[in-house]
Chains A and B, each alone.
Chain A
Amino acid sequence: MKRIDFSLRCWTVLSTVFSIGLLFFLLGFVFIKAQGVISLNFLLAKPAGFPVGSAGGIWPAVIGSLLVTLIASFFATVLAFFTAVYSVFYCRHERIKLVINLIVQCIAGIPSIVLGLFGYAFLVIKLKLGLSILASGLTLAIMIFPFIQIRFQKLFLETNKQLLEASASLGINQSYTIINLLIPMYSKQILSIITLASGFAMGAAAPVMLTGCMMNAPVPKSIASPFMSLPYHLYVLIGQGISLENAYGTAFVLMILVLLLNLLAAVPTLLGMRGKR
């Protein structure tokens, strides 16, 4: 008996240590190896050399990644917000709600590469958006839409019903209640959900490589121009064996950006926790 219990504890503790250690391994690995490469120059210069990327920096990729993430988060948030509000507050038929939830679940199940295919066939070719930031941004928006919608919906569903009724008892309609009561009330959570989602969008390579990402492009001039993105740049650097050093550097920058977004997402919750104590 004792021995089984002991080995069980060993198993669970070791697993936990392993999982936690993984993160530190990943971070440490990239950070240590990237030390020599990272400089302001690397960050702010254009890729150069032959083949492209073997020298120079990653500035266009940083800007491209940020822009495409911004577009994706914007469209996904708008769509997700209205879907969630509709299904929680306005929709009166259980069946329609079920259908909405099922569709969102299905979108969540579509692999990112298939979304890329869709973006390519529909946005790039059918709608003639061309290989562009806009097309990529919209494709990423579809990818993170379920992530945001599911969390918004959960947030709204958990609202204290009495608050809504109190607002209704003052003779106030739904949309005023949502704009002036719910949004201010949940502003922290909403922001943190969006930030987390944009972290996912930023790291995705598969959808953008089919819809507008290039191996080498200048800092984009408009949302209709092709662009560079960090994850794809990293993939090209390593996949085609162009430059290992620069790959480390790119991985480092990408990781820092994503970690930063994760951290930002956690800030409101941490602040909220302190307020409660």
Chain B
Amino acid sequence: MQIFQEVSFLDFISGLTWNPLANEPAVGILPMILATFYVSIVAVLISLPIGIGCALELAALENERLKGIFTSILGVLAGIPSVIYGFIGLLVVVKFFETTFMFATGESILSGGIVLAVMVLPYIVSSATETMEKSYKKYKETSQALGVSKSYMLRALILPNAKGAILTSMILAFSRAMGETMAVMMVIGNSPILPKLLGKGETIPALIALEIGTAGLGSLHYHGLFTAGFVLMMFLIFLNALFYLIKKNLTEHLE
């Protein structure tokens, strides 16, 4: 935290230029903060509709065996190393943009968002399914007794009832996405500029991973990176605490 003797905290998080090695070093991480949020939001926006649809289907699936298979497939998806996601993202998503739309470079916030969306999908599904399943089991018989079809019940009862579940799964996915390093780093282009959807960007984890090796021990650069890590960690701990509290509230509410 020695950095704040040289730069004020406000300047640090709102500064637009990151150039700690110049003659007049500048350590502003606003572009990275924005990029981190940007990719994560894009990822959650893409992933959420698919995730919730899948969770609904799983929650209402009567065939226990099939459900078991699906759940373990999602488990495997969550277990695949992020480097592999980045690798495939680079070879599929980025290439797709480059060849189909003739972009100069496919490395962009959008690519990062898509890769992340795939990565957080299993988290969204499993987190949302858990709660939806409970409410489905709870109301199933009552609803069936009213002669209502299954999809009507899903639409009119389970989905509105699952607002909290959707919210928590969003938070979980968001915090996963923000902390992700490798996959994002490989497809996002890594230049510390203000992010645009189809332009390059650099997230905080990527910044740290790329530059810590070259930062001199104890230099402004080194401390800058640590503080960036600290800022990121604060965001994530906040999100995690929020997730924990909302979820605790929800489960108590359902039981």
Q: Do A and B actually bind?
A: yes
Which residues of A approach B to under 8 Å, CB–CB?
1, 4-6, 8-9, 11-16, 18-20, 22-23, 26, 29-30, 102, 105-106, 108-114, 116-117, 120-121, 125, 196, 199-200, 202-206, 209-210, 231-232, 234-235, 238-239, 247, 251, 254-255, 258-259, 261-262, 266
- Sorted nearest first, the 7 A-B pairs with minimum C-beta distance are A203-B81, A111-B179, A15-B53, A109-B240, A12-B57, A206-B181, A113-B205
What residues of B have a CB within 8 angstroms of the CB of A111 in the complex?
A: 178-181, 205, 232-233, 236
Provide the residues of chain A in CB contact with B82, threshold 8 Å. 203-206, 231
Residues in chain A near residue B244, CB distance under 8 A: 102, 105
- Whether B58 and A234, one on each chain, are in contact in the complex, defined by CB atoms closer than 8 angstroms, is no
- Besides the contacts A15-B50, A22-B77, what 8 more A-B pairs have beta carbons closer than 8 Å? A8-B155, A12-B60, A16-B53, A22-B121, A113-B209, A121-B226, A235-B83, A255-B81
Contact yes or no, B181 A112, CB < 8 A? yes
Q: Is B101 an interface residue (CB 8 A)?
A: no
Q: What residues of B have a CB within 8 angstroms of the CB of A117 in the complex?
A: 208, 212, 225-226, 229
Q: In the assembled complex, which residues on chain B have CB atoms less than 8 Å from the CB atom of A106? A: 237, 240-241
B54 touches A19 (CB 8 A): yes
Per DSSP, chain B at the interface is: helix
Contact A235 B182 (CB under 8 A): yes
Docked Cα-Cα span, A235 to B236, in Å, equals: 25
Evaluate whether A235 and B186 lie within 8 angstroms (CB atoms) in the complex, with A15-B50, A23-B73, A199-B79 already known: yes
How far is it, in angstroms, between the C-alpha of A223 and the C-alpha of B74 when the chains are bound? 35
Interchain CB contact under 8 A, B87 and A238: yes
Please measure, in the bound complex, the distance between the C-alpha atom of A269 and the C-alpha atom of B83, giving whole angstroms.
Answer: 29
Question: Do residues A125 and B217 form an inter-chain contact, with CB atoms below 8 A?
Answer: yes
* Interface residues of B, count at CB 8 A: 62
Residues in A neighbouring B205, C-beta threshold 8 A: 111-114, 206
- Report which residue of B80, B149, B152, B229 has the largest number of chain A beta carbons within 10 angstroms of its beta carbon: B80
Neighbouring B residues of A209 by C-beta, 8 Å: 209
Q: Does residue B72 face the partner (Cβ distance < 8 Å to A)?
A: yes
A231 with B237: in contact, given A8-B154, A12-B56 (CB under 8 Å)? no
B169: Cβ under 8 A from any A Cβ? no
